[in-house]
Amino acid sequence: MLNRTFVHVPGLGSLTERSLWKQGCVTWDHYLREPELYNAGGVSVEGLIKELRESKEALVASRHQYFRERLGSRESWRAWPEFRRSCVYLDIETDGGDVGESVTCVGLYDGKAFRCLLKDEDLALFPDIISHYSMIVTFFGSGFDLPMLRRAFPGFHFDQIHVDLCPTLKRLGYRGGLKKIEKQLGITRGEDTEGLNGLDAIRLWRAWQRGSQTALDQLIAYNQEDVVNLERLAALAYDRLARQTLSEAGVAHLMEGQESFF
């Protein structure tokens, strides 16, 4: 979907993008080969050629900062397949407070391995670890996880492409919290974590502070399921939004033969 995307070009909106697709200009290369064939509205031919060449160069170089800036939060989902190999699914737990010191653990899953960074143990490694990734996927991370982490690590700047699945899935009609949406989609949890929520995570942390290893193990298992399930939700969101976007533009046939990630 990324190389079919034109809305990241300054001054080119979704209506013009749809018009380009309907004209047969369905990838960057189509336009670059024969720009004189297509009408891109108010964007000049020279300007669009320059932008699309920069887009191709940024993609080849895996320069995620370029796409983070150009796609913004609403269209960041379009870059998921191209950057999924450098993507981390992230979720935090807290002790109930709203300051940086309240972060108790950060769960990170890269599609292969899970790691939970704990307060007073290895949480301080977070800025270095996260800097190795090009994309972050969260659920309501824009409103909670990332602001909390900015407070926990003053001066640290997130430059990754951020896909927040809460508003992204809402565009597909899925509303409510993470656990509610998982159930709607048939995603189940283990016996030890089924029914747990954020308040339980606070309770478990406090029990661990009082010496309960069992509580910590359950907290980590709960956090692990949060981040591992985000990958499945990201795949679903990408597949369905890509199909919806192209269908609304009247070019649903462009999805034929495309790999399904969910």
pLDDT at 155: 92
- pLDDT above 70 as % of the chain: 98
For the domain that residue 197 is a member of, what is the CATH number? Answer: 3.30.420.10
| Model confidence at 262: pLDDT above 60 | no
Shared-domain flag, residues 87 and 140: yes
Shared-domain flag, residues 119 and 172: yes
Q: How confident is the model at residue 98 (pLDDT cuts 50, 70, 90)?
A: confident
Ramachandran quadrant class, 62 (left: phi over 0; alpha: psi -120 to 50; beta: rest): left
User: How confident is the model over 117-129, as a mean pLDDT?
Assistant: 97
Task: Establish if 211 belongs to a structural domain.
Answer: yes
pLDDT tens column, 195-233: 899 999 999 999 999 999 999 999 999 999 999 999 999
Nearest by Cα to 178 from 219, 126, 232? 232
pLDDT at 254: 80
Shared-domain flag, residues 177 and 231: yes
Shared-domain flag, residues 89 and 210: yes
Dig out the tokens for 129 from the structure: 């670890």
More confident call, 47 vs 192: 47
Shared-domain flag, residues 190 and 96: yes
| Model confidence at 258: pLDDT above 70 | no
Task: Establish if 132 belongs to a structural domain.
Answer: yes
Give the Cβ contact number of residue 183 at 10 Å: 12
> Based on the structure, what is the number of domains in the chain?
2
CA dist., res. 21 & res. 251, Å (int): 7
Shared-domain flag, residues 167 and 224: yes
Task: Establish if 95 belongs to a structural domain.
Answer: yes
Parent domain of 172: 83-237
Give the Cβ contact number of residue 85 at 10 Å: 12
pLDDT at 260: 60
